[in-house]
Each structure stands twice: as structure tokens, then as C-alpha cells.
Amino acid sequence: MFRLVIDRYTVCAMLCACVVLSFSGAANALPPQRVELTFDIHFGAMKLGQGRDVLIHDGTHYEVVSETIPKGVAAIFIKKIRRESHGVITDAGLRPNRFLEQGRKKGARAAEFNWSESTVRLINGDTNTVVALPPNTIDQASLPYGFSFAGRVPDGFAATVADGRRLKDYRYRIVGRERIKTVLGEIETIHVEKVRGPDDKRSFDFWLAVDRHYLPVKMRFSEKGRAFDSVVTSITYR
């Protein structure tokens, strides 16, 4: 998804005040053990590429692999981006152990989580630092899938997001229910938007499918009046 391409999933995610992607009873509301989603990425009427996400879990551990594949003219300027997260499923939600992003010009980015010592190692190309790990930290790849394990979407929530470069706090709120048009037909969703401050020029919205395990079926990154949409084209369960 274009969130992976233009640093908007750097903005990605992130989120109000009552819950932190730590949802009570999360481990009891599990999606299918393997879910694959594909997306078309658009800037207005122009198709820029495709996205593919794969979520795998066994009820205890999870893995998310997210790829952005530019097509046509976009492939000249943008490289394929791959992100993956590995971690465990707890009663508090998804807890990542390692995040990796590959495909950027300046080298790979990674985050290695040490929960027992409350630290995280951030790796950005040749830079390697260890910082304190807040208890509500998630990474960019696994963030949209926490709702699938919770089985619900809170009215507002907050999270600290790791992307390999830094940790950043975000807040999100619920806009409401919306039916979105896709090649799969109309899908009933919950629309979630980033809470922006007065100087924040970037926005990030995502739409979670109510009758499809609250999977993310649409995402939108906007900056300076330009909006990039990723809309689901297929969902496969195993």
C-alpha cells in the first residue's frame, strides 16, 4: 500500500486515549490462521501499483508481511518495499518482537524489541540505537491487524509506533460507519482517522471491514492536498 511507499505508513498508524491497541480479551477473538489481502494503489484516477499483505498466526505467534509493488511509470521512481513483523499474541493484543523494512535507498530499517528489559533497538541503515520501550508500542506492519484479534474497534486509542528510525506517539479517533465501494462489492466499514495537530500537514485514514474480522480494506494518506488510496481487491482465508 502506498503507506509503505511514501512515508505515510511512517505516519502510519498511530493512535486516543482509552486504549492502546491493547484490548482486553484480544487472544479470544482470532481471525483465520492465514489471511491474504491485495490492494490497488491510486493517486486520483492514476493507478500507481499494488499492495499485498499476508497475516499468519497459530493462536500464540503471528507474522505479518506487507509488500508494495509499484507498476508502470511509478516503478521508475519507486522501489518495491517489503515490511514484516514477527511477534506474539497476548491478552493485551499483538506484541512485536522484531520489525524489518527493506527496499529503501538508505538501507534496511529494523526494530528489535526487548520486552523483559523495556528497551528497543532501532536500526536505520548504519545507525543503531537502543531506547526505552513504552508498554503500548507496536510496529508499522502489525498495527492495522490488532483490531482483527480484538474483535472490536474502540472509540479512540493511542499507540507508540516503531518504524526502525524512531518511536512516535499517535492518536486516532472513530469517524463512523461507512459503506465503501470495492471490486468485491460494497463493504461495511468503520472509518478511523488520525488526530492531527495544528501544524500537522499529513493525515492517515483507514477503513476496517465490520464483517471481515475488522481487516483493513482501505487506507488513505494525504499530504498538502494530495491523497493516495489503497483499496482492497481480494481477501483470501485459509
Decide if 87 contacts 43 (C-beta within 8 A). Answer: no
Residues in the chain: 238
pLDDT one-digit tens code per residue, 54-69:
999 999 999 999 999 8
What's the rounded Cα separation, in Å, for the pair 151 and 23?
9
What's the rounded Cα separation, in Å, for the pair 231 and 183?
9
Once rounded to an integer, what is the mean pLDDT over residues 208-226? 90
| pTM of the predicted model as reported, rounded to 2 decimal places | 0.84
What is the share, in percent, of the chain residues with pLDDT greater than 70?
Answer: 86
pLDDT one-digit tens code per residue, 159-184:
899 999 999 888 889 999 999 999 99
What's the rounded Cα separation, in Å, for the pair 214 and 190?
8
CATH number where 71 lies: 2.50.20
Cα angle for residues 36, 150, 188 (degrees, 5° grid)? 65
Number of domains in the chain: 1
Provide CB contacts within 8 A for 118, sequence distance 6+.
Answer: 132, 133, 135
pLDDT for 132: 97
pLDDT at 144 over 90: no
pLDDT at 3 over 80: no
pLDDT for 200: 75
Q: 81 lies in which domain range?
A: 2-237
Once rounded to an integer, what is the mean pLDDT over residues 99-120? 94
Residue 152 CB burial class (10 angstroms; 0-12, 13-18, ≥19): middle
CB 236: neighbour CB atoms within 10 A? 11
| DSSP string for residues in 108-123 | -EEEEEETTTTEEEEE
Q: How confident is the model at residue 74 (pLDDT cuts 50, 70, 90)?
A: low
Reduced to 3 states, what is the DSSP secondary structure of residue 80? coil
